Structure 1
Amino acid sequence: MFDYTVTTSKSVDEAVASLEENLKEEQFGVLWNFDLTAKLQEKGQDFDTSYKILEVCNPKEANTVLSENLMVGYFLPCKIVVYKDGEETKIGMPKPTSLIGMAEDGGKLTEVAADIENRLISCIDRTA
């Protein structure tokens, strides 16, 4: 499966705040907390679903993968989305192992991608 997605009873804002704290524990910083709903509404679009996209990065891991293959930068920073789906809040991400598999010579980085994936999944699970 391409993604990892869970459901939480928290609101989108509560989930984002909790997720940011959990990411810090794994040395992932939030580079950007993008409010897609606000941006689409600003552009005149009728979109009222609460939808946040967090771009997250661990500098040490980014350096490791970029030193091996610069094209991996196409997948960076890692994205985690938090959004309202009906009455539920969902937290999810594309799996780094799925993404790295698309890169030329990505196989060399499979272990690193799996470690990053497991750490991000742990952050998501602790948030949910």
Structure 2
Amino acid sequence: MTELAISTRVNSTFEETVESTRKALSEQGFGILTEIDMQSTLKAKIDADIERYVILGACNPRLAKAAIDTDRQVGLLLPCNVVVRSDGSDTIVEAMNPQLMVGLSAAPGLADVADEATALLQAAIAALDGANSPS
């Protein structure tokens, strides 16, 4: 079974981790199309309290184009969601595993796109391990 996420746990503040995540994604060719503050949204809409939790909608335009060229319905899985969330004194960063697309569509060529997207997201997540080390 394909893992749902590519993830890491860092010992850094939430704000620093969100900023480091944006930078690491940018360095791998991803832009942030959307940002959802789940903590604020859930508090405002249903008066629910959760930990600090942000969803970044990351997109690598070249890979997004290649993916939808193989199967137009793959757009339902875009952008790649990256979650930054508090967990005690640590912060967790999780990126949706692009390999999930391959399990949902048999379109020729999609596996190659997913492999490249996976490698780029893994590199971004791996960069956070060093960037968020305590000083």
Same fold (TM over 0.5): yes
1:43-78 superposed Cα distances (whole Å, 9 cap, x missing partner): 132213000000010111111111110011111000
TM-score normalised by length of structure 1: 0.91
Aligned positions, number: 127
Q: Which residue of 2 aligns with 1:94?
A: 96
1:74-115, CA deviations, whole angstroms, 9 ceiling, x for partnerless residues? 110000001012232100122101233112x24531121011
Amino acid at match of 2:88: G
Contact 2:6 2:125 in 1 (8 A): no
- 2: distance between equivalents of 1:94 and 1:27? 16
Give identity over the alignment, percent: 28
Q: What stretches of structure 1 of length at least 5 have no aligned partner?
A: none
Match of 2:84 in 1: 82
2:42 match: 40
Q: Pick closer, same or farther for the CA change 1:93–1:5 going to 2, 3 Å.
A: same
Structure 2 counterpart of 1:125: 126
Deviation at 1:25, TM superposition (A): 1.4
Corresponding letter in the other structure for 1:113: A
Give the Cα separation in 2 of the matches to 1:44 and 1:16: 25
1:36–1:53: 8 Å Cα contact kept in structure 2?
yes
Gapped regions of structure 2 (runs ≥ 5): 130-135
SS of residue paired to 1:39: helix
The Cα offsets for residues 17-54 of structure 1, whole Å up to 9 and x where unpaired, read as: 01111111122100112111010111132213000000
Match of 1:114 in 2: 115
Instruction: Evaluate the alpha carbon distance shift between residue 106 and residue 11 of structure 1 in structure 2; reply closer, same or farther with a 3 A threshold.
Output: farther
Q: What is the TM-score of this pair, normalised by structure 2? A: 0.87
Q: Which runs of 4+ in 1 moved over 3 A?
A: none
CA distance in 2, matches of 1:99, 1:112: 10
